[in-house]
Amino acid sequence: MPIRDPYLNRRDLLRGFGGTAVAAALGPALWRPGRAGARNEPSQTARRLFTPCTRPSKVSLVKGNDRREIVLQALKNIEDEVLASIGDKQKILVKPNFVSTDRELAATHVDAVRGILDFLKPHFKGRIIVGESAPGRGGTFEGFQNFGYLPLEKEYGITLADLNTQPFVHHYVFGSGHRPIPIRIISTFLDRDTYIISAAKMKTHDRAVTTLSLKNILLGAPLNDGRRNDKPLTHTEYNFSPKAVLHFNMFHLAQEIWPDLGVIDGFVAMEGNGPVGGTPVDARVALASLDPLAMDTLTTKLMGFDPTKILYLTSMAEAGMGQGDLTKVQVLGTSVDECRYKFKPNERLIEPYGLS
């Protein structure tokens, strides 16, 4: 990630800012600067809460004919940086996307996770958890069973976990009429001792245009305990505007919740009415980066969409959470020109975003 010192955990850094975005919105008297010495510490004179990232970022992009192998190769392209970023952490969470537990096209394929585990196992001797917090009634283990994840425990000696059964803390997001509402956030996503890998699927989305590594973590963090599902609270205003409250809530949560490493499974991606009802795209790509914002911005561009029209991406870039300027992104592996596509957008966003 571009602001490590040399590999400072972004969640540690952003935790120093706390709720400054909301405090600033409520008035200057409530604003307090971030942690002393933080590299992106707000400027008192300019009264900026964050400083945009100026460092270049690396994104590994690999195209090929074997899903597991291209995920592994994408990680090997940045191997030294990834291993340094893990440091002395003793626990790794690999978080796939199970927005649906019965449609495999909508989920992170098990072989993409195998590629991640193939990379980790020779180097990491601590505990590895493959954990998800599925939003559906069937629960996370329904997805593990339907998508062939259960054998991973014996194959790799890892643990499968339903994160919806874990402890939580209360935070706030903005709901209908921009009123703050309480939301339960799974504590694992706030744990500084857990190295978080977002194992995302390359898909279109019905409110955010694309859903990739950041959204996988930010909207995976709210709790669904089977009695109440807090995930929809991030977008209680069900509209399709480019300025929908979902974008601000993702920005707001990102101040404390952030993946340490992003991986995108785009071997068979999804276009059209994603994140569940879309159709397959034979893209045959995988991406990996310590700067998930740079990776998601690049992937959005590869899918044929304009990332500058997606508010949560541009807001995070302006706030210095990662590199949003693609001229400052170094692509390793396959050339960008070999991986350009024209994904069909979700039909609900064609008019609001001026898509075709």
pLDDT in tens, 273-291: 999 999 999 999 999 999 9
Domain ranges across the chain: 56-353
Report residue 262 CA to chain centroid gap.
7
Is it the case that residue 317 has pLDDT exceeding 90?
yes
pLDDT confidence bin for 2, thresholds 50/70/90? very low
- Whole-number pLDDT of residue 51: 82
> CA triplet 301, 306, 308: central angle to 5 degrees?
115
pLDDT at 23 > cutoff 60? no
Average pLDDT over residues 71-76: 98
Q: In Å, how far are 116, 167, 296 from 268, measured between CA atoms?
A: 17, 34, 17
Note whether 284 and 64 are within 8 A (CB): yes
| pLDDT tens readout for residues 230-280 | 999 998 766 788 988 999 999 999 999 999 999 999 999 999 999 999 999
| CATH architecture assigned to 56-353 | 3-Layer(aba) Sandwich (3.40)
pLDDT value of position 17: 33
pLDDT for the residue numbered 49: 64
Count H helices, E strands: the chain? 12, 12
Q: What is the model's pTM?
A: 0.88
Taking only the tens place, the pLDDT of each residue in 74-118 is 999 999 999 999 999 999 999 999 999 999 999 999 999 999 999
What pLDDT, on the 0 to 100 scale, is given for residue 18? 35
- Average pLDDT value for the chain: 88
